[in-house]
């Protein structure tokens, strides 16, 4: 039975605090964003993408995140949601826009002084000078602290001398470097010393460095190489940059956290070098939040195409039906539902979690005064975790959507290939996902160690879990859920599988168990004579599992909060089913782990599978409503197969001369043919 809920109701649930930015985008984003030609010659496509970036900027929406003093909106959250909405269009535009406004503009905003803001930001907002962000090097990506480009201060001229010492230290994969960027935010090892002091390495700092003149010619000492064609995002002109004694005025060192005096004396308000590095990179957390948000939009676009196609494409006659009956619609097959509906439910849950994360980022970065270190660390942990989980989800879901559309899904006109290829690198850039998940694990160990000290005994598991529950209680209004959450016993066979309290308890205790366990293992590294490297390596997958469990829990928290906030009964019921499907599919994925620990009995584990199937069946009538609820305007969905224009069978069922024989399938569709399987036995 369809739920009777309206798509607009669901769109409202998913809108979050910046619904106005979503509405603005739906009304004003230029059509060109959805109609680029990624198969044009590469430089033509790159220029087209820059044109679209300028067209978007002309609507004013790309200024939301800049300081009001330079004409921006001073609204961090709005800037994230604006970026996210670009994710429904050409992703090269989204990334090109993100590099210029978010990374280059963001570095100047976060790491620079008001003087830098005045000198650089107005031209950035107006896209008068295209900026890029030169952090990664060929030899060092994940390990930013080890980059090797140097900026050596020369007090004689009050300049910093920028040098690429060898091939491994060239800046690489830099979006904008190959063709358009005129100015770069360059990260380098700063070397300076005051009078009588030996010049000393001060760690990674950021400088503003011009690359090209107004006519686009490279400046002296700057060499650029094109990274060439990539798997996707070919509208972004990635390249390599090599600096040979490029001189930059002292005033172009972004000096919010550290300064060089005219005589070379280095000073910083932040005493610890490691803390300074943390703050320098921490200011850039917005990039990760943006990627996680934007990839969600791309995933939603893919699901809209695949689900709509699955609701019109028919393949194979129903068993026992005569030759004139209609063939079965793909989404009526269990296997097809299993592919698409849990992914759709998880996409809803991730959107809700992303909305919370965007709000948290906004609140932390908009708070007056010094940033609270604990808040900042929790923000970074969540940003890293959600970025990793959202991009992995995108990669697998878009792939599934492609396969679910068969041969039609392989055609560029149906957009899935471009979505797949463009999002592929999202698991790598703005932090490799595996590395990010380790940061999450590290962050958790730090937080919980503060609360629980040694954390050496298994008794701590319950204490950790209880603390999480208490924190939930502080922010939640879902008293009933929370009561059940407090009382639920994870190993119990009695609780309703659809009880959110029981589900949540399972996730919370899993996280606590994994975390306490990995802390115990890592303690061994401190034993006398221990091979610390071996201990860490042995525990690596354990740490990654703990991080994943944490993110899973955070996502379900956001779901519970949205359910609490929902005032309409019908919408709430539908949301509860979507939530059940997401949570139970998550538990199903990890059910071996629960079985190994006796937290699920074999019977209950099988019941989880059966309930996921039931939920797919229950949500099937609302499948179209659920994709419509994502709030994607029709004109943004350009794939012909989403509009029933291609791949439609005749529908009349007449005139066919089928032999009725068992079809050995060949060719292009993803139909599932169980109906053709004869019963051989019984």
Transcribe 569-607 into DSSP letters: HHHHHHHHHHHHHHHHHHHHHTHHHHHHTTSS-HHHHHH
Q: Which two tokens stand for residue 264?
A: 């070379």
Please say whether the beta carbons of 615 and 584 come within 8 A.
yes
CA distance linking residue 503 with residue 494, whole number of Å: 12
Query: Between 63 and 343, whose beta carbon lies closer to a second copy?
Result: 343
Lookup: tokens for 299: 């995933």
Beta carbon of residue 619, minimum distance to a second copy (angstroms, whole number): 15
Q: Is 680 helix (H, G, I), strand (E, B) or coil?
A: coil
CB of 481 to a second copy, least distance (A): 27
We find the least distance from the C-beta atom of residue 629 to a second copy, in angstroms, to be 26
Cα separation of 588 and 227, whole Å?
42
With residue 552 as reference, give the H or E element that holds it: helix 540-565
Q: Which is nearer to a second copy, 196 or 602 (CB)?
A: 602
User: Which SS3 state, helix, strand or coil, does residue 247 take?
Assistant: strand
CB of 510 to a second copy, least distance (A): 15
**Residue 432: alpha-carbon gap to chain centroid:** 11
Closer CB to a second copy, 55 or 277, in the complex:
277
Complete edge-to-edge strand list for the sheet that includes strand 171-175: 171-175, 238-243, 222-226
**Alpha-carbon dihedral of residues 79, 84, 85, 88, nearest 10 degrees?**
160
Task: Retrieve residue 335's tokens.
Answer: 């296997």
Q: In the bound complex, what is the minimum distance in angstroms from residue 355's beta carbon to a second copy?
A: 24
Q: Name the minimum Å distance from CB 669 to a second copy.
A: 3
Residue 125 or residue 515: which is nearer to a second copy going by CB? Answer: 515
φ and ψ of 161, to 5 deg? -105, 115
DSSP output for 527-550: STT--HHHHHHHTHHHHHHHHHHH
Tell me how far apart the terminal alpha carbons of the chain are, to the nearest angstrom.
33
Minimum separation from the CB atom of position 454 to a second copy (A): 6
Q: Which is nearer to a second copy, 566 or 583 (CB)?
A: 583
Please state the closest distance from residue 176 (CB atom) to a second copy, in A.
14
Separation between Cα atoms, residue 366 and residue 110, nearest integer Å: 12
Q: Considering the complex, state which of residue 568 and residue 675 has its C-beta at the smaller distance from a second copy.
A: 675
Report the nearest approach of a second copy to the CB of residue 534 (Å).
Answer: 10
Helix pair 19-28, 76-86: axis angle to 10 deg: 40
Residue closer to a second copy (CB basis): 64 or 382: 382
Closer to a second copy at the Cβ: 121 or 317? 317
Residues 6+ apart with CB under 8 A from 43: 179
CB of residue 565 vs a second copy: minimum separation in angstroms? 33
Q: Which residues contact 363 (CB under 8 A, 6 or more apart)?
A: none
The residues pairing with 499 across neighbouring beta strands, listed in sequence order, are: none
Nearer to a second copy, 157 or 613 (CB): 613
Helix (H, G, I), strand (E, B) or coil at 214: coil
Q: How far is the CB of 439 from a second copy (least distance, A)?
A: 7
Exposure of 105 by Cβ count < 10 A (0-12 exposed, 13-18 middle, 19+ buried)?
buried
C-beta of 22 vs 415, nearer to a second copy: 415
Query: Judged by CB, which is closer to a second copy: 313, or 500?
Result: 313
Q: State which residue, 276 or 484, has the beta carbon closest to a second copy.
A: 276
Min dist CB 347 to a second copy, Å, is 20
Least distance CB 320 / a second copy (angstroms): 5
Q: How far apart are CA 613 and CA 394, in angstroms?
A: 22
Q: What is the CA radius of gyration of the chain?
A: 27
Residue number, 18 or 599, with CB nearest to a second copy: 599
* CA distances (Å), origin 15, targets 18, 158, 226: 7, 50, 40
């Amino acid at each position: 039975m369809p739920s009777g809920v309206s798509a607009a109701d669901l769109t409202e649930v998913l809108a979050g605090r910046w619904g106005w930015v979503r509405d603005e985008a739906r009304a004003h984003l230029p059509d060109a964003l959805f109609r680029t030609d990624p198969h044009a010659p590469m430089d033509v496509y790159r220029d087209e993408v820059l044109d679209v970036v300028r067209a978007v900027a002309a609507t004013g929406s790309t200024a939301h995140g800049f300081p009001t003093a330079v004409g921006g909106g001073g609204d961090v959250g709005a800037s994230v949601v604006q970026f996210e909405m670009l994710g429904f269009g050409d992703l090269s535009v989204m990334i090109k826009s993100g590099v210029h406004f978010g990374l280059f503009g963001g570095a100047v905003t976060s790491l620079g002084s008001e003087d830098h803001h005045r000198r650089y930001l107005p031209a950035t907002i107006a896209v008068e000078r295209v900026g890029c962000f030169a952090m990664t090097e060929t030899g060092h990506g994940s390990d930013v602290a080890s980059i090797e480009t140097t900026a050596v201060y020369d007090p004689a001229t009050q300049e910093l001398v920028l040098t690429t010492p060898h091939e491994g230290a060239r800046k690489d994969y830099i979006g904008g470097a190959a063709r358009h960027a005129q100015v770069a935010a360059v990260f380098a090892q700063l070397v300076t010393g005051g009078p009588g002091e030996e010049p000393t390495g001060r760690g990674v700092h950021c400088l503003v460095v011009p690359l090209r003149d107004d006519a686009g010619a490279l400046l002296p000492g700057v060499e650029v190489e094109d990274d060439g064609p990539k798997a996707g995002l070919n509208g972004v002109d990635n390249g390599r940059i090599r600096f040979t004694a490029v001189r930059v005025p002292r005033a172009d060192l972004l000096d919010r956290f550290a300064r060089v005096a005219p005589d070379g004396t280095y000073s910083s308000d932040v005493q610890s070098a490691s803390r300074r590095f943390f703050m320098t990179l921490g200011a850039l957390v917005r990039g990760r939040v943006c990627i996680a948000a934007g990839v969600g939009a791309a995933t939603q676009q893919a699901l809209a195409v695949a689900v709509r196609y699955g609701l019109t494409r028919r393949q194979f006659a129903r068993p026992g039906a005569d030759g004139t009956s209609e063939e079965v619609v793909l989404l009526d097959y269990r296997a097809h539902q299993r592919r698409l509906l849990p992914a759709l439910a998880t996409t809803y849950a991730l959107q809700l979690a992303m909305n919370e994360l965007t709000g948290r980022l906004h609140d932390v970065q908009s708070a007056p005064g010094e940033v609270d270190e604990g808040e900042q660390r929790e923000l970074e942990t969540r940003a890293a975790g959600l970025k990793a989980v959202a991009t992995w989800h995108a990669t697998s879901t878009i792939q599934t959507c492609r396969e679910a559309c068969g041969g039609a899904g392989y055609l560029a006109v149906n957009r899935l290939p471009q979505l797949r290829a463009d999002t592929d690198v999202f698991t790598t850039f703005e932090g490799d996902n595996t590395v990010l998940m380790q940061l999450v694990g590290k962050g958790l160990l730090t937080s919980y160690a503060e609360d629980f000290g040694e954390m050496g005994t298994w008794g701590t598991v319950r204490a950790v879990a209880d603390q999480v529950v208490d924190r939930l209680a502080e922010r939640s209004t879902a008293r009933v859920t929370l009561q059940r959450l407090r009382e639920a016993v994870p190993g119990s066979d009695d609780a309703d599988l659809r009880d959110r309290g029981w589900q949540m308890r399972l996730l919370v205790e899993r996280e606590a168990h994994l975390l306490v366990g990995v802390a115990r293992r890592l303690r061994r590294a401190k034993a006398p004579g221990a091979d610390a490297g071996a201990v860490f390596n042995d525990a690596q997958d354990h740490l990654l599992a703990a991080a994943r469990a944490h993110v899973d829990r955070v996502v379900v928290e956001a779901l519970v909060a949205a359910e609490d906030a929902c005032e309409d009964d019908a919408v709430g019921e539908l949301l509860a089913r979507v939530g059940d499907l997401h949570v139970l599919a998550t538990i199903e994925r990890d059910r071996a782990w629960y079985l190994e620990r006796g937290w699920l009995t074999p019977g209950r584990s099988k019941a989880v599978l059966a309930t996921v199937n039931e939920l797919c069946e229950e949500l099937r009538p609302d499948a179209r409503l659920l994709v419509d609820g994502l709030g994607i305007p029709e004109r943004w969905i350009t794939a012909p197969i989403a509009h029933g224009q291609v791949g439609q069978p005749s529908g009349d069922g007449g005139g066919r001369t089928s032999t009725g024989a068992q079809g050995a399938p060949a060719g292009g569709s993803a139909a599932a043919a169980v109906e053709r399987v004869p019963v051989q036995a019984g």
